Amino acid sequence: MPVIHYPSTTRTTTPKTTKQRSLVTFLLPSPPEPASRLASPSKQASIIPRRNLAILYSIRSGGGSATGVCLGQLAFSWWRIMVAKSRRQVAKLALLALALLLLLLAATLLCVLLIPRHRRKPLPPGPPPGNASNPDDSIVAFDFSPYLIMYKSGRVHRLDGTARCAAGVDGDTGVASKDVVIDAGTGLAARLYLPPAPGGKTKDLARLPVLVFYHGGAFVIESAFTPLYHAYLNAVSAKARVVAVSVEYRLAPEHRLPAAYDDSWRALNWVARNAAGSGPEPWLRDRGNLSRLFVAGDSAGANIAHNMAMRAGTEEGGLDGGAAIAGLLLLDPYFWGKKPVAGETTDRATRRQYEATWSFICGGRYGIDDPLVNPLSAELRRLACSRVAVTTSGLDDFRPRGLAYAAALRNSGWGGEVEQYETPGERHVYFLDRPKDPNSVKELAFVTGFLSRE
């Protein structure tokens, strides 16, 4: 082990005062140990660096001026050591912070990739400003959320189903559409859909089945002109190859039931007349096959479609021109009643709410067991069609009564054919909001198969 040699001095110095020696003794370690005592590793670990020892020796042996210089050099050396240590500590802390940041980033990416994301519909727009001079314009008379809110003044604020889109040629399907006015006095109108000719042929075109469709929306929202139903009818018309007529009927509460039923009946007869050749509409007159007339709808529109088929079978003379409905297609139909059927909710609050909304829609004109809303109390054997298809969704409140309707129809003495299609685990009319979902594609295949079959 090398022995540390300390510099010697030959100059004569005046002895340090007691005060000076005490200061130096307080600040500096004792003189170096003999070499023989520095042999063990534990002792070597505590050896002061050579430069510092030289400084200490100078302080011990030098005069007062040398003491100040050496103390300064010692302080500077000590400061450099502390700065080096601080830098190392800062570097360690920086590395630790960077590691934590990377860990947080990885956890965030993991959450984004693994946690399922749910699409949320945008919040409904706030209520339009009311009439400040009329205090009743801000008092809620009936809250039919999430569809609309009606105020005591009669003002109606719709929360959904108010968007509109123009007719034209659909870029995805090639289906052409146009709007027609059936009754300018009431505002009754329709949007017609015509699929493209197969292979681009324009001559000797075959006549196509005719589909009259009634949109849903609890009788209070939506339209034949909303993007939701425009996209759905484009898809149905293209895949089933039908001339479709989507009816724009009047809505409650401005026009309470039976306004929607009356509009729908008038539109159905208008279609029958034009498809029979006695009307001016060329898409129906030249391309429609009246012997294959279908009536369909979803939710409240399915309720309307059922009641149109019942009216055709009970009203004297039936449809104009002696037309007959070949098939009835009910998608998640809106039916209800006072007494729960098997599988229907027994929650009193829920049942009271459904009764209250039905009373709001019809202005209290019809009870909850009226055949218009509860077909189980109707004479189903008089249904004027030869085929019926009913679709239901597993999580829909209206599912049990839709199934009960199909069963009651089979047992009513009606001589037609009933088909059922169910999608487990789905909510009411899910196929409208998610048209590309696998379940929606399967349901559309069932719908188009029903309409295409002879």
Q: What is the pLDDT of residues 246-260, one digit of tens each?
A: 999 999 999 999 999
Q: What is the dihedral of CA 404, 410, 415, 417, to 10 degrees?
A: 80
Q: For residue 307, give the nearest of 239, 378, 360 by alpha carbon.
A: 378
Q: How many CB atoms lie within 10 A of CB 265?
A: 19
DSSP-assigned states of every residue in 161-208: S------SB-TTT--EEEEEEEETTTTEEEEEEEPPPGGG--SSPPPE
Residue 67's pLDDT band, with cuts at 50, 70 and 90, is low
For residue 151, what is the enclosing H or E element? strand 148-151
State the pLDDT at residue 200.
Answer: 65
Q: Note the pLDDT tens digit of each residue in 21-53.
A: 443 443 444 444 554 444 444 444 444 455 554
Lowest-pLDDT range of 116-125, 145-154, 384-393, 397-406: 116-125
Question: Tens digit of pLDDT for each residue in 265-282?
Answer: 999 999 999 999 989 999
Q: Give the pLDDT confidence score for residue 327 in this predicted structure.
A: 98
Task: Give pLDDT tens digits for 287-300.
Answer: 999 999 999 999 99
Tens of pLDDT along 286-333?
Answer: 999 999 999 999 999 999 999 999 999 999 889 998 899 999 999 999
- Spatial contact of 27 and 75, defined as CB atoms under 8 Å apart: no
> Minimal CA–CA distance to 213: which of 225, 205, 224?
224
pLDDT of residue 206: 86
Rounded-to-10 torsion of CA 300, 305, 309, 315: 70
Instruction: Please tell me which residue in 246, 299, 393, 440 is annotated as part of the active site.
Output: 299
Candidate from 87-91, 216-220, 382-386 with smallest mean pLDDT: 87-91
Residue of higher predicted confidence among 373 and 129 = 373
- Active-site residue flag, 396: yes
3-state helix, strand, coil split of the chain in percent (to 5) is 45, 15, 40
pLDDT of residue 43: 45
Q: Is pLDDT above 70 for 202?
A: no
pLDDT of residue 128: 58
Q: Is the pLDDT of residue 228 over 70?
A: yes
Predicted local distance difference test score (pLDDT) of residue 196:
94
Say what the pLDDT of residue 417 is. Answer: 97
Quote the pLDDT of residue 39.
Answer: 44
Catalytic residue flag (residue 179): no
Residue 116 has pLDDT above 50, yes or no: no
Catalytic residue among 306, 396, 397, 440: 396
- Residues near 17 by beta carbon (within 8 Å), at least 6 away in sequence: none
pLDDT band at 93 (very low <50, low <70, confident <90, very high): confident
Contact 344, 229 (CB under 8 A): no
Q: Which is catalytic among the residues 215, 230, 306, 428?
A: 428
Strand partners, 417: 387
Say if residue 245's pLDDT is above 90.
Answer: yes
299 is catalytic: yes
